[in-house]
Amino acid sequence: MSSLPTLSGPLRVFLTGASSGIGMALARAYAAQGASLGLVARRGTELDALRASLPHPERHRVYALDVTDHAALAAAAESFMAEFGGADVVIANAGISQGTLTEYQEDLAAFERILAVNVTATFATFTPFVARMKALPEAQRRRCRLVGIGSVAGIRGLPGAEAYSASKAAVISYCESLRVELRASGIKVVTIAPGYIDTPMTRVNTYPMPFLMPVERFAERSVASIAEGVSYRVIPWQMGVVAKLLRLLPNWLYDMAFARAPHKTRNL
């Protein structure tokens, strides 16, 4: 087992959902800073290609698995910590989105899958690391970050996206609970709530997406926010303003304004 890095040494980053979109952009941003990465996703071929494209590919490890396989996820986390002596930043980024409508019984399976990937797997991603981080000396604990990826869709429920909105609201609330729980330890719990980011997940949307941000810029701002140790940040900031305004709207006005909002496509 390698020794723990010094406070000025390269970061060790464990990242789920790394094979595309936000996860891939975060991997590239951290690799450019010299970090050692543990990259998790279902698609092994895409992970291998990503690793080969990064600076110093020998510093990175890939783990092809489904994050709902909690035993495999825990084994990957243990393998990464054993090889690199721990982890400094753990990012639970894996997520899926699909339109769901409660009136259709056949959408129940999609609802359960979205919650399993977006919520339960966030818990399962963090679990192997918390005790190890808490056992570190205080100065090293203050370097540690547990990062949950929420969404502005979790701030107010969107029509036709019951499962996705519910899952991201749960991530935001869960990370807040964990943040308070770990406050005395010095370990920072960071919630990043993306607005509309240009990724394969959003490119299928057929409705306008205000303040659409290139994924590379989103990754840069996220990495900076994580390093800062912010508790919660909406990126881009314009969507943060919109989200605050939406939160202030009384229910009757919000309902009237969004009752006919465009729906995300149901994948039948």
Write out the H or E segment, with its range, that includes residue 146: strand 145-149
Residue 63 annotated in active site = no
* Helix 121-134 × helix 162-182 angle, to 10°: 10
Tell me how far CA of residue 186 lies from CA of 134, 209, 231, in angstroms. 9, 37, 12
Whole-number Å distance between alpha carbons of 146 and 200: 25
Whole-number Å distance between alpha carbons of 102 and 111: 9
What's the distance, Cα to Cα, between the start and end of the chain in Å? 48
Name the residue among 240, 241, 245 with its Cα closest to residue 257.
Answer: 245
Active-site residue, selected from the candidate residues 30, 63, 104, 164: 164
Active-site residue set: 164
